Amino acid sequence: MARDAGPFAVLSVFLLGIVAGGVTALLLGTDDKGNTKGALKARIKETKDHIGEGSLWLRNQAGEIAEYVEDQYAKAEKMLEKKLEALRARYDTIDRAKYSKAVSEVVDKMKTTGEVTVSQAKTISQFLLDDYHTLAEEPAKKAPVKAAGKKTAK
């Protein structure tokens, strides 16, 4: 009893035939002088060179992206410092909740203005949140004098 092969089986056999024909032509084909091996070696070397160039290009792109994110982080840090100064004017200490809210506002502003992508914004946000102790608490250590009229953080 014969089974119905269906269109997928026919297409698979057709594609397999094309691949087999290409490999056969590559191996049996020759240049003007009848050399196959030299042409094959030259093509392999050319392909390796292109792969190496692509790798170099990719490393350059990664370096440029890293520099851009570092620049955007520095910009976000400056924006955050301004927000923290305003918070310090109102409160004795800046707790993690206030700091996190300020970080979110800064990163959201950078996302809405199109300065950073969503993934870059997540990275910058995580770096800023990790820097809580140095950014939020350091100025308080430098100026321990309590100003009159400030609220205390809960």
63 compared with 144, residue with greater pLDDT:
63
Question: How much is the pTM?
Answer: 0.53
DSSP string for residues in 3-40: PP-HHHHHHHHHHHHHHHHHHHHHHH---TTS-SHHHH
pLDDT in tens, 90-145: 888 888 899 999 999 999 999 888 888 888 889 889 989 998 888 877 554 444 44
Distance CA 124, CA 112 (A): 15
Distance CA 100, CA 125 (A): 9
